Structure 1
Amino acid sequence: MRDLGTGFGYLLKGQRWVAGHGRWFGFGLLPGLITLVLYVGALIGLAYGADDFVAWATPFADDWSEAWLAVFRGFLVFLVFALGLLLAVITFTAVTLLIGQPFYESLSEQVDKDKSPDGTAPESGLPLLRELWISARDSLRIVVRAAAWAVLLFALGFIPFLGQTVVPAIGFGVTGFFLTQELTSVALQRRRVEVREQLVMMRSRRLLIWGFGVPLAVSFLIPFVAVFLMPGAVAGATLMVRDLLGEDGDEGEDEGSGTAGDTALAGPDVQHPGAR
């Protein structure tokens, strides 16, 4: 259970870091603002079109009594919008990271330089276009996985009682996991850690990942909050990666999250950048 608190601590540390570096906070807001405008427009369109979509998809209910028809289709409209909102929360970070790759890459590098004893940051050594392609490809993979989970949870939501209690809790856990993977990928891609290796690392420390990602997922449900938390979330995810890979030395051990045992959990293919 200690990992839950440690994960939440990284989220707070990231917010404190950007609060102390105001220029980077403003710099990191731009991609989130662009994505927010796009998502708000999509959700408004969904809200206006959900009635017509549900009516088109349920022609068998046209002859029902007006009261039952209103209840049935009203519930389906709610579920359709809820699914759209869940997909928006799950994919917001991936789309924002894709749009803001150069912004968040620079922010993450600055965090690494600030925390590194020699003031340097790991570099992938890849051309910019290659980095953008890898980021887009990996983001698409994450979105596909997240969408599959969203559809499954949407279907499970029809189960009485469980659909209104257990399923939403699972949804926050799934969302928090994918949010954290998306955010840590900024720092991990610069270290040439592939998506498969990232998943090994995330799954080996699920409580840590949930401690970071679930509070973030809950806060993202509040309008506009995601935009303002994104810069700090990227900074916090970078700090967590440094400790997971043992790059902070004794400092990571003091916090219980950067030991050699943690590095081993990342899998045999994950190498420390200094070994390249």
Structure 2
Amino acid sequence: MTNFSWKGVMPAVTTKFTDADMLDLDMFTTNINAQLEAGVHGIILGGTLGEASTLDTEEKKILVEHTVNLVDGKVPVVMNIAEQSTKEAIKAAERAQDQGASGLMVLPPMRYKSTDYETVAYFKAIASSTSLPIMIYNNPVDYKIEVTLDMFEELLKHDNIQAVKESTRDITNVIRIRNRFEDRLSILCGVDTLAMESLVMGADGWVAGLVCAFPRETVAVYELVKAGRIEEASRIYNWFMPLLELDINPQLVQNIKLAEVATGIGTENVRLPRLPLQGDERNRVLSIIEEGVKTRPIIPNI
């Protein structure tokens, strides 16, 4: 599935580990099946939520091939590329394509704060090395590198650079992108707490985090907004907001894995140096999750 639209809800899924710190493909399968049953539109592997920086090359291969087999063409499987060098990023893109991925989400260079010129050259080198469609992850808050509209103008000379994961935290950037590029660049919101606003303003989709634990509610917000049923979407989104705020936190992986435990589609196991939440912070997060589970809204027919 190489020809697909960058739209809809695309979970940035967590990577499941056993108590012995091996890949837990059984629980991973349970979660992916829950996502598919809820009607998500794609699966994104190996992002921040997927603890990509702690995965080795063989584990990434296993995850891509397992997910491709599991989804069986129902939705695209997108692999995240987050490397320290252009050479390694190109290798990672080639591996993802060979393993059956349908697309790539590409971060700017890790660790080195590249200039605008270097950033564009990095993305273009990756795009030139693969035929897979690419979504650029624009998150200057966390990665200190902003992909500006002028940079996108240059990047769009590559036909396979097609989308942006918009995480600037500036909701008007959705409008700026749409005004500048119309339908040449698909926009997927990358910030859970701005997702409904972004969709209302014309974003094509949502790269979501709390969807890992609450897939039905996440898909419902998207589908209701796209159907123009804003009031119904708002009721779910308002209930969702305390949970969504768990995504904009340095411990987002631990937070969301705790939520997955509460909804029965994950475990709390994280990979060192991460550790499960402790003490007052753990109790605070658990109270938010417990209240959310207790008051889960009824999903209307869409």
Determine which structure has greater relative contact order: mean sequence separation of CA pairs < 8 Å that are 6+ residues apart, divided by chain length. Answer: 1
**TM-score, shorter chain, exceeding 0.5:** no
Report the structure, 1 or 2, having the larger strand content: 2
Report the structure, 1 or 2, having the larger helix content: 1
Greater radius of gyration (CA): 1
